[in-house]
Amino acid sequence: MGAYVLNGVEIPHDEEGYITDLGNWSKELAVLIAKDENIEMTDEHWEVVNFLREYYEEYQIAPAIRVLVKAIKKSLGKEKGNNKYLYELFPYGPAKQACKIAGLPKPTGCV
């Protein structure tokens, strides 16, 4: 257990860096978590992160990677809905890393 520190406020996360209270998320925090993951947030990153947050809002789960790929393909097209594109954005696993940045729990089915 540790915490991200944003503007002097501690925001606790679990041993893998996922924030424990989804209500603590903010765009500023996302940038901070991303930096921790060596990711500089671009519009393309935000597109995926926002997509994940919307998916979670609707279904109350973080999707598994193959579900994420399929869903992104459907809403953003096949140039973005593929593993290669998503791994370029999130080299350590789109589902895991993007979910962490999006302030969501680890994807269900992800071990």
Q: Which stretches of the chain bind other proteins, using CB under 8 A?
A: 58-61, 63-64, 66-67, 70-71, 108-109
Render the burial of 8-47: b for 16+ CB within 10 Å, e for the rest: eeebebeeebbbeeeebbeeebbbbbbeeeebebeeebbe
Contact, 97 vs 81, CB < 8 A?
no
Query: At closest approach, how far in Å is the CB of 60 from other proteins?
Result: 5
List active site positions.
Answer: 110
Q: Which is nearer to other proteins, 41 or 67 (CB)?
A: 67
Q: Which is nearer to other proteins, 18 or 39 (CB)?
A: 18
Render the burial of 64-103: b for 16+ CB within 10 Å, e for the rest: ebebbbebbeeeeeeebbeeebbeebbeeebbbbbbbbbb
Query: At closest approach, how far in Å is the CB of 1 from other proteins?
Result: 21
Query: At closest approach, how far in Å is the CB of 58 from other proteins?
Result: 6
Q: Which is nearer to other proteins, 32 or 61 (CB)?
A: 61
